[in-house]
């Protein structure tokens, strides 16, 4: 028997023993235990070390708000740090370790930081490490020296470095009503909404639905509340219109009632089933959200309130009633409200001695006095705890008379021997999601709590209603009534007068005394995880911080992983007192997503590794099977080179380009953007979007076109083919296909709705192969049937239809390489057939396949522009494309293209560059008139593309250079300090090779 | 954020592309009034409150929409096709069961 | 044009298409995945105001009676049609050559016809967990009342555009761009592992 496990009681399965380790030591627990409850049952009191002072810390809470007991869970090589032990369900083989301690939890070297408490006060880092150097121990330089040690000492758990093999998924869900929280209010709301036929999602971050019903010990409908919850869940389970999401934290509330939730699908399992994700990110679009998120009990702030053994009262009640674990044998309670008295009775029933109830109030009601007697506890009204004793576990506490009005302590100190001190500082509704949604919380002086606002104050985009403790109604009877009412309301049902489940009324006043802090000697913690004390808050005030938002950032109060779930209200109360203002005037901070920590894996979900979408051409597999080294261009994969054994990339592309110019080469151009432009106004649209005329283009002919943006800068280029009177096939650059499509759609929808034109992306409909070189026509002639390909039938920019290997093809004679060249298009499903037939036909001619590198080389030799030159800053004139600017018609960009700044003589213009030192150039390298390696300056422009030109036998480049054509034939230098490349160059025309085009015109 | 496409119904904002201020007026194509062109290309309203915007349902039916959105609350006050016309046979409100 | 015998079209899924049961199938297969490989996939578009005439042509030529309303559609055996955008419809036929059947009817006064038989890949998902798996990809409501039988939807998954038609109570036909098809198929298989899937 574990030392602290009760004989009976709790909702654990005592017949199932589960084995796990914590810090290497073996432990056992039961099915239904959390790591926290199982360790507590084993007598473990020390769970972690605090962030700054490395003080020993035990469990404060039993749920998601736990700030102290953060552990790292190990699965093989993968470690997940900073998980609250209260949220870890144990399973066989669980390995958990404590954090923030060296070498061990029990003996931590950094605990010495406690002695330097004055130095590590609020703003320590700002004060010590910022600003000028004054003496040896101040300033930024001192930070440089200390950083290494501080970084090592700071922080809690360590993130792992091993790749996480777990699967994460994203799921989209839609519902009429999303209910967050499954306590009595949430269950009633879910039942009411489901009975109306609404689509309901019920989410709870705990493993078991029921919320407080699982540990309150109350009776609902004549049965234990936990059984009532189980029965209600059973009724919901059978409904098709209900989705139950246990272990699911709704962590974000976004516009349009879109909510984000994280489901821990397999974290509680020894092994995940095949294909089962570890965690699932739910994006939920809800008609109405029911916030039944309950409330958090607040700690009291007093010296030594962080000692292991000091716990929240309801958390202890939960350990007893839900897990059958007593937090101690001699229990003392410290409270400012009635709720702790019920807890006292529960501890007594479970077999502990309740040695004292210390209540700050003098006027304790008779009902509470009766409960104190029932618990056989000494009631110390108008008293306060002023100190705690013990090391890694509590041994006792000191109390003194206390005046709740003045906060004054008086009389003799008295020591009480206890191994557990349970505190209750009142309750704060869990308003986080409402706050995220824009609701401004309102201070309720009776409840001493921030309550969600009335419905009228809501933002228009968030439709939520609240029920239960969330609204400040802290009794189960209220929760049940409100839950049903809002469930009906959310589902559009009528108000019901049917009888509600009967709750055995627990006596007690929900309003606490307005006491948050006992001022006595010693460290009183407000934010346990970040080690922020009441004195730190006052120090911040003395140093001039008046805004609550600044206070938060300066002291880091509420900025730890628990995000102020425990510390928010006590911190504000202390700040308000220091400022001499009432709490509502100080205000509260707005809560931001996420409510709890969210794994990056769940946010990335399926979008990682292989599952990033890739675009493949129809000939992709052929390329792979034939030695292509692939290159990713946007989402597309394209052959870079088809390398032979032992070849470098440069050797490969030089060989490919050379062979193409000498005989013939073939390249996959399926990635070019292709847009079908159809309809009676198709030609008119093209005249408006291109700088040159298309309405005059004959059917069966293609034309090179240039588009500008509205601001007159160059946008995209490509050839457009007229396939019929009202039918064009537009091609775009690979990179701009999507942008050009959107551009056309925008103008058709928004600017020129009167034009009857359909634009459709047909990029994927066609496989494209460009075959070029002196023998290209002969190769085509040997395999094309149904049409001739001679100069008369297929002149430059002509289009013919025929067949290759029996497959219909469309052939257009155009050239990017500068050779006699043809683009052969076929249905994508036949792309490989046609490609292979062309390869076969090319064999007698030594046809080579070439990739992007050779393609780029040949285009640089020809001086053609691509996206590297059409970079969003260049005009048609800069690129020497002004011959394409029609004067006969307006077109997009025509009005703006001649603005002063776009026609100046100092603009960067396209030129060619030849390296005079016979060394490779680099894209991005600058062109300068005077070389100054030590102090590079005076850039005339930059290199946009470069290669070794087999046709010229030189390293060449295209560049954008001030002066442009005027500099042809002059010398300059390349200055590329980043890659340490400096050297002489000659500026020439961008048309390096065959400038009169005799090769392609043949 | 959800935007209700008149064709596709309410869809997540990830399916949409913002296409700019909907208050701009494009001058006549042949206009040489540079001030008017400058205003069209560069001037943008940036109201704190209701704003006329153009959004494309790029991840859906690809229609451009005129959207009135409150830039403070993100509330979408209205949506309509930028291109008129397609209402009779296609209006979602008419035909959906 | 005289019909010539053409080879079978290459599937973009081929190296990743593995018939048989996969994933967590020991407890049963909850979805069946297949590539339906229709011979014809057409896009028909009507100018504003001409939608009804186009719908009538579709009825005459394909024998498919489109229900009124955005995204309405019908799927019957070898053929299917659905609206996916204002005035735009996707028409699918198991057989090739549907474009020729429509060619004469869709005059410039009515609208346009675009043949996408090669450019779109048709993937079918069927089974009791089809909605569950689809919800992993697309932020649209797949529940039957929100997405009725025969209806079509345009949506996307990251960069992958998809047109989806509900062709059965628990069956969806997904039309994706051919270049993205293999990537999408791999993702679809991956997402289906959890429920156990069979490739047919």
pLDDT digits (tens, 9 = 90+) for A856-897: 999 999 999 999 999 999 999 999 999 999 999 999 999 999
The proportion of chain A whose per-residue pLDDT surpasses 90, expressed as a percent, equals: 82
Lowest-confidence pick of A5-19, A238-252, A545-559: A545-559
Cis preceding linkage at A594, omega within 30: yes
Closest residue in A to C107 (Cα–Cα): A679
Give me the pLDDT at residue A545, please: 87
- Interatomic CA distance for residues A59 and A634, integer angstroms: 51
Same domain, C22 and C87: no
Across the range C189-197, mean pLDDT stands at 96
Same domain, A343 and A386: yes
A273:C194 CB<8 A = yes
- H or E segment at C84? strand C79-85
The CATH number that applies at residue A460 is 3.50.50.60
Same domain, A7 and A138: yes
- Count of domains in chain A? 7
Same domain, A4 and A79: yes
Same domain, A12 and A133: yes
CB atoms within 10 A of CB A246: 17
The CATH number that applies at residue C85 is 3.30.70.1520
Q: What is the mean pLDDT of chain A?
A: 93
Q: pLDDT band at A482, cuts 50/70/90? A: very high
Size of interface A-B (CB pairs under 8 A): 74
**Residue A368 located in a structural domain:** yes
The CATH number that applies at residue A722 is 3.30.70.1400
Same domain, C27 and C48: no
Size of interface A-C (CB pairs under 8 A): 144
CB atoms within 10 A of CB A857: 28
Q: Quote the DSSP letter at residue A681.
A: T
Same domain, A97 and A204: no
Q: pLDDT band at B67, cuts 50/70/90? A: very high
Across the range A687-706, mean pLDDT stands at 97
Q: Is A634 exposed, middle or buried (0-12, 13-18, 19+ CB in 10 A)?
A: middle
Across the range B39-47, mean pLDDT stands at 94
**Residue C45 located in a structural domain:** yes
- pLDDT reading at B85 higher than 90: no
Same domain, C80 and C51: yes
Give me the pLDDT at residue A124, please: 64
To the nearest whole Å, the CA of A56 is away from the closest chain C CA by 43
Across the range A206-211, mean pLDDT stands at 97
Give me the pLDDT at residue C1, please: 43
Please answer whether residues A634 and A735 qualify as being in contact, where contact means their C-beta atoms are separated by less than 8 angstroms. Answer: yes
Residues spanned by the domain of A59: 1-161
Same domain, A28 and A150: yes
Interface mutation vs chain B, best among C50, C51, C67, C70, most B CBs within 10 Å: C70
- pLDDT reading at B92 higher than 60: no
- CB of A751 less than 8 A from some CB of B: yes
One DSSP character per residue, A667-736 reads EE-TTSEEEEEESTTHHHHHHHHBSS--TTPPTTBEEEEEEE-TTSSEEEEEEEEEEETTEEEEEE-TTT
Same domain, C49 and C141: no
- pLDDT reading at B94 higher than 50: no
B82:A753 CB<8 A = yes
**pTM given for the model:** 0.93
Same domain, A248 and A319: no
- CB of B75 less than 8 A from some CB of C: no
- Interatomic CA distance for residues A23 and A38, integer angstroms: 14
Same domain, C33 and C125: yes
**Residue C153 located in a structural domain:** no
Interface mutation vs chain B, best among A289, A749, A758, A888, most B CBs within 10 Å: A749
- Using CB atoms, which residue from A459, A742, A748 is nearest to B73? A459
- Using CB atoms, which residue from A283, A613, A680 is nearest to C184? A613
Same domain, C75 and C52: yes
Contacts of A899 (CB under 8 A, 6+ apart): A712, B34
- H or E segment at A14? strand A13-22
Same domain, A483 and A447: yes
**Residue C2 located in a structural domain:** no
Residues of chain B with Cβ-Cβ distance to C139 below 8 Å are 11-12, 14-15
CB atoms within 10 A of CB A905: 9
A899:B84 CB<8 A = no
Same domain, C18 and C73: no
- CB of C17 less than 8 A from some CB of A: no
Summarised one tens digit per residue, pLDDT across range A542-552 is 998 888 888 88
- pLDDT reading at A560 higher than 50: yes
Same domain, C87 and C100: yes
Q: pLDDT band at C2, cuts 50/70/90? A: very low
- pLDDT reading at A989 higher than 70: yes
Residue after which a domain boundary falls, among C96, C116, C136? C116
Closest residue in A to C192 (Cα–Cα): A275
- In order of start, what are the domains of chain B with their CATH numbers? 2-95 (3.30.2270.10)
Residues of chain B with Cβ-Cβ distance to A895 below 8 Å are 27, 31-32, 34, 37
Same domain, A27 and A83: yes
Give me the pLDDT at residue A523, please: 94
Contacts of C94 (CB under 8 A, 6+ apart): C38, C39, C78, C79
Q: pLDDT band at A955, cuts 50/70/90? A: very high
Residue after which a domain boundary falls, among A406, A424, A442? A424
Q: Which two tokens stand for residue A334?
A: 């410290």
Give me the pLDDT at residue B86, please: 38
C24:A173 CB<8 A = no
- pLDDT reading at A112 higher than 90: no
Across the range A788-795, mean pLDDT stands at 96
Lowest-confidence pick of A135-139, A294-298, A802-806: A135-139
- Interatomic CA distance for residues A5 and A231, integer angstroms: 27
A274:C143 CB<8 A = no
Q: Which two tokens stand for residue A980?
A: 């340490």
A764:C183 CB<8 A = no
- pLDDT reading at A841 higher than 60: yes
- Count of domains in chain C? 2
Same domain, A627 and A604: no
Summarised one tens digit per residue, pLDDT across range A331-350 is 999 999 999 999 999 999 99
Same domain, C130 and C189: yes
Give me the pLDDT at residue A1, please: 46
The most distant pair of C-alpha atoms in chain A lies apart, rounded to whole Å, by 116
To the nearest whole Å, the CA of C77 is away from the closest chain A CA by 24
Same domain, C47 and C77: yes
User: A152: helix, coil or strand?
Assistant: helix
Same domain, A90 and A125: yes
- Interatomic CA distance for residues C123 and A994, integer angstroms: 49
Q: pLDDT band at A559, cuts 50/70/90? A: confident
To the nearest whole Å, the CA of B18 is away from the closest chain C CA by 16
The CATH number that applies at residue A935 is 2.40.30.110
Which position has the higher pLDDT, A488 or A112? A488
Pick left, alpha or beta for residue A600 (phi over 0 → left; psi -120 to 50 → alpha; otherwise beta): alpha
Residue after which a domain boundary falls, among A161, A196, A219? A161
Residues spanned by the domain of C98: 39-116
- Interatomic CA distance for residues A776 and A669, integer angstroms: 16
**Residue C91 located in a structural domain:** yes
To the nearest whole Å, the CA of C23 is away from the closest chain B CA by 30
- pLDDT reading at A815 higher than 60: yes
Q: pLDDT band at B88, cuts 50/70/90? A: very low
- pLDDT reading at A366 higher than 60: yes
Residue after which a domain boundary falls, among A144, A161, A178? A161
Across the range C39-48, mean pLDDT stands at 97
Strands A464-466 and A279-291: parallel
**Residue A614 located in a structural domain:** no
- pLDDT reading at A118 higher than 60: no
**Residue A587 located in a structural domain:** no
Across the range A958-976, mean pLDDT stands at 96
Closest residue in A to B81 (Cα–Cα): A749
Closest residue in B to C51 (Cα–Cα): B89
Same domain, A83 and A201: no
Across the range C109-129, mean pLDDT stands at 98
- pLDDT reading at A139 higher than 70: no
Q: pLDDT band at A391, cuts 50/70/90? A: confident
- Interatomic CA distance for residues B59 and B3, integer angstroms: 12
Give me the pLDDT at residue C159, please: 86
- CB of C186 less than 8 A from some CB of A: yes
- Using CB atoms, which residue from C52, C68, C161 is nearest to B95? C68
């Amino acid at each position: 028997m574990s030392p602290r496990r009760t004989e009976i009681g709790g909702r654990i399965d005592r017949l199932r023993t589960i084995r796990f380790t914590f810090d290497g030591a073996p432990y056992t627990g039961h099915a239904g235990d959390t790591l926290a409850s199982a360790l507590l049952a084993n007598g473990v009191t020390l769970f972690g070390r605090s962030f700054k002072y490395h003080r020993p810390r035990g469990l404060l809470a039993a749920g998601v708000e736990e700030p102290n007991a953060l552990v790292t869970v190990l699965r093989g090589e993968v470690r997940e740090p900073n998980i609250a032990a209260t949220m870890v369900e144990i399973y066989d083989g669980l390995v958990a370790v404590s954090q923030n301690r060296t070498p061990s939890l029990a003996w931590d070297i950094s605990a010495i930081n406690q002695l330097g408490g004055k130095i590590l006060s609020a703003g320590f880092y700002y004060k010590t490490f910022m600003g000028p150097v004054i003496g040896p121990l101040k300033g930024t330089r001192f930070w440089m020296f200390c950083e290494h040690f501080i970084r090592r000492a700071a922080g809690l758990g360590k993130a792992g470095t091993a790749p996480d093999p777990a699967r994460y998924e994203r799921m989209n869900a839609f519902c009429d009503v999303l209910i967050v929280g499954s306590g009595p209010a949430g269950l009633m709301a879910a039942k009411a909404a489901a009975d109306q036929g609404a689509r309901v999602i019920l989410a709870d971050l705990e493993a078991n639905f029921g919320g407080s019903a699982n540990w309150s010990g109350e009776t609902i409908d004549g049965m234990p509340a936990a059984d009532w919850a189980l029965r209600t869940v059973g009724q919901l389970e059978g409904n098709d219109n209900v989705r139950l999401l246990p272990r699911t934290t709704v962590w974000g509330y976004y516009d349009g009632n879109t909510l984000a939730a994280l489901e821990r699908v397999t974290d509680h399992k020894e092994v995940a089933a095949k294909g089962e994700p570890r965690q699932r990110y739910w994006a939920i679009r809800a008609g109405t959200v029911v916030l039944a998120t309950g409330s958090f009990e607040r700690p009291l702030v007093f010296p030594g309130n962080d000692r292991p053994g000091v716990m929240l009262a309801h958390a202890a009640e939960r350990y007893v009633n839900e897990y059958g674990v007593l937090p101690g044998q001699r229990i003392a309670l410290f409270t400012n409200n009635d709720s702790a008295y019920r807890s006292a009775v529960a501890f007594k029933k479970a077999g502990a001695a309740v040695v004292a109830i210390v209540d700050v109030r003098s006027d304790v009601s008779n009902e509470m006095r009766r409960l104190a007697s029932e618990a056989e506890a000494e009631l110390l009204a108008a008293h306060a705890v002023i100190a705690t004793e013990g090391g890694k576990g509590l041994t006792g506490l000191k109390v003194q008379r206390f005046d709740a009005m003045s906060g004054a302590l008086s009389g003799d100190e008295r020591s009480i021997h206890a191994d557990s001190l349970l505190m209750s500082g009142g309750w704060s509704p869990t308003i986080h999601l409402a706050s995220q949604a824009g609701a401004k919380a309102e201070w309720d002086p009776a409840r001493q709590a921030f309550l969600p606002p009335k419905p009228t104050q809501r933002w228009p985009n968030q439709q939520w209603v609240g029920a239960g403790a969330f609204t400040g109604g802290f009794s189960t009877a209220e929760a049940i009534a409100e839950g049903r009412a809002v469930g009906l309301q959310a589902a559009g049902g009528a108000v019901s007068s049917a009888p509600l489940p009967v709750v055995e009324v627990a006596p007690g006043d929900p309003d606490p005394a307005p006491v948050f802090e006992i001022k006595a000697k010693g460290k009183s913690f407000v934010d346990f995880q970040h080690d922020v004390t009441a004195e730190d808050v006052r120090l911040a005030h003395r140093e001039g911080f008046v805004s609550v938002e600044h206070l938060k950032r300066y002291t880091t109060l509420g900025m730890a992983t628990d995000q102020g779930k425990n510390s928010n209200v006590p911190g504000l109360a202390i700040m308000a007192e220091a400022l001499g203002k009432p709490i509502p005037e100080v205000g509260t901070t707005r809560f931001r997503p996420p409510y709890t920590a969210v794994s990056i894996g769940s946010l990335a979900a399926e979008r990682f590794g292989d599952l990033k979408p890739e675009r493949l051409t129809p000939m992709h597999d052929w390329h792979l099977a034939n030695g292509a080294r692939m290159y990713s261009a946007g989402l597309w994969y394209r052959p870079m080179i088809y390398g032979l054994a032992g070849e470098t990339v440069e050797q490969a592309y030089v060989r490919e380009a050379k062979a193409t110019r000498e005989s013939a080469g073939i390249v996959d151009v399926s990635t070019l953007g292709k847009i079908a432009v159809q309809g009676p106004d198709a030609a008119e649209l093209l005249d408006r979007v291109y700088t040159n005329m298309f309405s005059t283009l004959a059917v069966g002919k293609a034309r090179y076109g240039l588009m500008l943006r509205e601001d007159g800068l160059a946008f995209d280029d490509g050839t457009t083919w007229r396939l019929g009177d009202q039918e064009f096939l537009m091609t775009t650059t690979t990179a701009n296909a999507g942008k050009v499509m959107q551009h056309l759609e925008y103008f058709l929808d928004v600017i020129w709705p009167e034009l009857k034109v359909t634009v459709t992306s047909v990029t994927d409909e066609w496989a494209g192969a460009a075959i070029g070189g002196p023998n290209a026509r002969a190769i085509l002639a040997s395999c094309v049937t149904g049409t001739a390909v001679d100069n008369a039938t297929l002149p430059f920019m002509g289009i013919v239809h025929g067949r290759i290997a029996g497959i219909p093809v469309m052939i257009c004679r155009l050239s990017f390489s500068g050779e006699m060249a043809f683009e052969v298009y076929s249905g994508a499903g036949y792309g490989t057939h046609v490609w292979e037939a062309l390869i076969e036909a090319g064999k007698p001619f030594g046809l080579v396949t070439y990739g992007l590198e050779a393609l780029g080389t040949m285009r640089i030799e020809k001086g053609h522009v691509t996206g590297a030159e059409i970079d969003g800053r260049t005009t048609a004139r800069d690129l020497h494309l002004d011959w394409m600017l029609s004067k006969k018609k307006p077109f997009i960009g025509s009005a703006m293209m001649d603005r002063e700044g776009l026609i100046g003589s100092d603009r960067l213009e396209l030129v060619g560059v030849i390296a005079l030192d016979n060394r490779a150039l680099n894209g991005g390298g600058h062109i300068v008139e005077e070389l100054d390696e030590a102090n590079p300056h005076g850039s005339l422009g930059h290199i946009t593309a470069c290669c070794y030109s087999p046709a010229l036998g030189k390293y060449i480049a295209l560049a954008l250079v001030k002066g442009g054509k005027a500099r042809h034939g002059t010398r300059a230098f390349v200055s590329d300090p980043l890659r340490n490349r400096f050297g002489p160059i000659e500026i020439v025309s961008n048309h390096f090779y065959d400038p009169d085009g005799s090769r392609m015109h043949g | 954020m959800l935007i209700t496409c008149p064709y596709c119904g309410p869809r997540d904002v990830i399916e949409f592309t913002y296409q700019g201020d909907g208050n701009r007026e494009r001058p006549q194509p042949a206009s040489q009034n540079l001030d008017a062109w400058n205003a069209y290309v560069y001037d943008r309203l940036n109201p704190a409150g209701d704003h006329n915007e153009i959004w494309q349902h790029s991840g859906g039916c690809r229609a451009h929409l005129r959207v009135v959105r409150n830039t403070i609350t993100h509330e979408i006050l209205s949506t309509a096709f930028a291109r008129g016309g397609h209402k009779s046979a296609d209006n979602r409100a008419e035909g959906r069961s | 044009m005289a019909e010539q015998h053409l080879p079978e079209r290459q599937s973009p899924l081929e190296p990743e298409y593995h018939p048989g049961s996969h994933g967590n199938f020991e407890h049963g297969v909850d979805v069946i995945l297949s590539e339906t490989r229709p011979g014809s996939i057409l896009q028909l578009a009507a100018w504003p105001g001409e939608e009804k005439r186009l719908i009538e042509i579709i009825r005459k030529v394909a024998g498919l009676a489109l229900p009124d309303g955005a995204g309405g559609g019908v799927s019957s055996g070898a053929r299917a049609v659905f609206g996916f955008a204002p005035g735009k419809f996707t028409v699918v036929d198991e057989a090739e050559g549907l474009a020729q059947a429509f060619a004469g009817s869709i005059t410039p006064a009515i609208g346009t016809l675009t043949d996408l038989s090669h450019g779109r890949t048709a993937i079918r998902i069927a089974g009791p967990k089809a909605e569950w798996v689809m919800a992993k990809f697309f932020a649209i409501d797949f529940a039957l009342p929100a997405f009725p039988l025969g209806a079509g939807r345009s949506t996307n998954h990251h960069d992958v555009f998809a047109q989806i038609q509900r062709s059965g109570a628990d069956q969806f036909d997904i039309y994706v761009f051919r270049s993205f098809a293999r990537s999408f198929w791999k993702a679809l298989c991956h997402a289906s592992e959890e429920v156990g899937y069979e490739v047919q």
